[in-house]
């Protein structure tokens, strides 16, 4: 039976259905039905096929996981059941009434049609859903969707003349060089012109004599924007896509013609060419506007933060170049690394700087002055660009974090051997290290060997687990959200320290437990699930929870920027709908449950 007039009126008062026209509401009321349930009745159970979305008109519904642990209690105006529908899988939870309850039941086909036809409904139910293909920014496409697969190749001993003939016949501007061991290098038309035509190089010499060995490459997980940023910053026109030693494809400037107007690449280009920090700052001042554009375009949170972090990376490298131009060439090799949110590629509209320097073991006491000046130049420049100084002084300007490689190895060994509170904190930060500029060989296998040693030390791992539980999700009594009790942010949620950070900390623990290499939090959770450190269901729950929390944080910052305010991490839950608060609380419950599992030594939920 279709909904009654009263039930249709109720539905029209519930967000997001209040965004529908009268005609659409009438059509929706015709295909939905209302059902009454007695206390203790199952609406659906774990493993049951997902067939409907449910909206509570009156009563109460308890939702439990597969181990019968309560996830949430839902009251009137809340929905449930969309989880399995959006994933296209069987129910992973059980929904049971706790009192006399009336539900509006929406068939799955109607739910899908509603999402496809109405953007506000789609955004409301699943913020992870990508924009429609006709709206999607080319910049955020996986590189595999744009690259030329199976590019033209030749062997290293192929005569230059023959390789040139192949390029001419195919109408291409480059040829990749490969042998039985895999990808070796690349030769472009510029190489042909410079070495052979202008330089007089023997055209019958092997192509390996003019190829660029070990060119800049990207992996298949890269985005189109990563290619564009690399081209703009490094001044190259061809980027091979490789996985290990295997050549998968190539992206050229011609391939990127449609992507020339991408704003993140424009900022990267301006920063890469800036004459000084002040000019750089004029570009980075547009990052808030970029964040709004990326969020409103429907990009996933990890794409938004990655694009924003790219700008910080470029600014750092440009400042290093400018510093060397002013101070002279470095006396020994060095490597500038980012840690914290930049290291994890998770910067938002609010970011400080966390960085350090690894110096060659060949350095002497006399070299300290140079690197102290280099660190000050770069850190001051980053501050000018809006990346304010780290409150905890976790910066290369601190002599403690500007040391030779051997000292860094001693640091890590000491932290692992003596996991006191300070060591836990420092190790947590340093496990997020990512090389930015300089001699990458100094990082070498430092992370891998440190991770291996840490994983084998059960006492250190136990301390890291304990440290990961210090930041708790904001869950209050009586199924509420625990807001800040006093001060400037009274009655608000801290979406950073009580929202994102608990998941970041869990990601580090899983990295230790599984000896995993990713640094980005979402990549860590995904790798942990694939490695079996997280169960399939536990991993899916935590990924979904993290996506919701991180997306809510970015949406909040974008809304603040649009309102003319500086973005921050403090959200008033009263600004959320009942549905949004309920699902945000569910996400926090998942995080808390996973913390409890790790803290008890049971690992992830099965």
Please state the domain extents for the chain: 5-125, 141-257, 263-445, 469-599
Those residues of the chain that have pLDDT short of 70 are 1, 126-140, 257-263, 477-479, 601-606
CATH number of 141-257: 3.10.580.10
Taking the alpha carbons at both ends of the chain, their separation in whole angstroms is: 40
Mind listing the pLDDT tens digit for each residue in 17-39? Answer: 888 888 889 999 999 999 999 99
Q: Is residue 148 within 8 Å of 251, Cβ to Cβ? A: yes
Alpha-carbon distance of 25 to 178, in angstroms, equals: 61
Instruction: Please count the other Cβ atoms lying within 10 Å of the Cβ belonging to residue 389.
Output: 15
Task: Find, among 432, 435, 203, the residue nearest to 334 by Cα.
Answer: 435
CATH number of 469-599: 1.20.120
| DSSP secondary structure string for all residues of 122-149 | HHHH-TTSPPPTTT--GGGSBGGGTSEE
Q: What is the pLDDT of residue 139?
A: 62
3-state helix, strand, coil in the chain (%, to 5): 50, 15, 35
Domain 5-125 matching CATH 1.10.645.10: the answer reads no
**Own/partner long-range contacts of 395-402 (Cβ < 8 Å, ≥24 apart):** 395/353, 395/354, 395/355, 395/356, 396/336, 396/355, 396/356, 396/357, 396/371, 397/372, 399/368, 399/372, 401/355, 401/356, 401/357, 402/356, 402/357, 402/359, 402/368, 402/371, 402/372, 402/375
**CATH topology match: 5-125 vs 141-257:** no
Q: Please state the separation of Cα 372 from the chain's center in Å.
A: 32
Cα angle 114, 120, 123; round to 5:
95
Answer yes or no: pTM beyond 0.75.
Answer: no
CATH number of 263-445: 3.30.460.10
Task: Find, among 13, 53, 5, 52, the residue nearest to 29 by Cα.
Answer: 5
Q: What is the pLDDT of residue 140?
A: 66
| DSSP secondary structure string for all residues of 366-409 | GGHHHHHHHHHHHHHHHHHTT-BPPTT--STTSGGGEEEHHHHH
């Amino acid at each position: 039976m279709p909904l009654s007039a009263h039930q249709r009126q109720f539905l029209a008062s519930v967000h997001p259905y209040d965004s529908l026209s009268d005609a659409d509401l009438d059509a929706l009321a015709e295909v939905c039905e209302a059902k009454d349930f007695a206390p203790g009745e199952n609406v659906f159970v774990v493993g049951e096929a997902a067939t409907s979305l449910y909206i509570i008109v009156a009563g109460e519904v308890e939702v439990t996981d597969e181990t019968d642990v309560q996830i949430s209690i839902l009251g009137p105006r809340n929905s449930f059941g969309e989880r399995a529908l959006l994933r296209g899988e069987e129910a992973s939870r059980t929904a049971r009434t706790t009192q006399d309850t009336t539900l509006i039941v929406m068939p799955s086909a109607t739910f899908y049609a509603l999402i496809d036809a109405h953007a506000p409904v789609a955004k409301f139910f699943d913020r992870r859903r990508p924009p429609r293909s006709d709206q999607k920014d080319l910049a955020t496409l996986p590189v595999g969707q744009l690259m030329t697969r199976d590019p033209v190749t030749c062997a290293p001993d192929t005569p230059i003349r023959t390789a040139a003939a192949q390029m001419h016949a195919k109408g291409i501007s480059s040829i990749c060089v490969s042998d039985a061991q895999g990808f070796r290098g690349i030769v472009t038309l510029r190489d042909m012109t410079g070495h052979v035509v202008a330089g007089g190089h023997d055209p019958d010499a092997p192509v390996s004599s003019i190829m660029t060995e070990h060119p800049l490459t990207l992996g298949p997980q890269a985005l189109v924007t990563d290619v564009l940023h690399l081209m703009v910053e490094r001044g190259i026109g061809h980027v091979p896509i490789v996985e290990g030693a295997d050549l998968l494809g190539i992206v050229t400037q011609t391939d990127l013609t449609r992507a020339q107007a991408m704003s993140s690449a424009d900022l990267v280009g301006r920063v890469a060419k800036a004459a000084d920090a002040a000019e750089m700052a004029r570009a980075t001042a547009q990052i808030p506007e970029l964040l709004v554009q990326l969020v409103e375009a429907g990009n996933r949170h990890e794409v938004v933060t990655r694009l924003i972090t790219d700008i910080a990376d470029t600014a750092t490298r440009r400042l290093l170049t400018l510093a060397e131009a002013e101070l002279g060439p470095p006396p020994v090799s060095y490597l500038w690394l980012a840690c914290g949110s930049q290291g994890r590629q998770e910067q938002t509209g609010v970011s400080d700087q966390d960085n350090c320097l690894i110096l060659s073991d060949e350095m002497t006491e006399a070299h300290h002055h140079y690197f102290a000046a280099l660190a000050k130049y770069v850190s001051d420049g980053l501050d000018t660009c809006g990346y304010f100084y780290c409150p905890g002084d976790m910066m290369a300007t601190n002599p403690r974090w500007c040391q030779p490689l051997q000292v860094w190895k001693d640091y890590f060994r000491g932290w692992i051997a003596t996991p006191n509170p300070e060591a836990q904190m420092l190790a947590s930060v340093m496990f997020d290290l990512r090389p930015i500029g300089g001699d990458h060989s100094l990082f070498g296998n430092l992370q891998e060997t440190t991770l291996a040693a840490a994983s084998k030390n059960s006492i250190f791992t136990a301390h890291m687990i304990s440290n990961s539980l210090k930041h708790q999700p904001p869950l209050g009594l009586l199924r509420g959200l625990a807001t800040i009790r006093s001060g400037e942010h009274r009655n608000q949620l801290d979406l950073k320290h009580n929202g994102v950070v608990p998941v970041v900390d869990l990601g580090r623990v899983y990295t230790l437990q599984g000896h995993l290499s990713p640094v980005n939090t979402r990549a860590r959770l995904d790798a942990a699930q694939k490695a079996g450190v997280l169960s399939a269901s536990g991993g899916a729950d935590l990924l979904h929870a993290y996506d919701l929390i991180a997306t809510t944080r970015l949406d909040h910052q974008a809304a603040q920027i649009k309102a003319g305010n500086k973005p921050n991490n403090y959200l008033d839950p009263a600004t959320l709908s009942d549905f949004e608060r309920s699902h945000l609380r569910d996400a926090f419950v998942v995080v808390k449950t996973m913390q409890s599992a790790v803290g008890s030594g049971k690992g992830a939920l099965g």
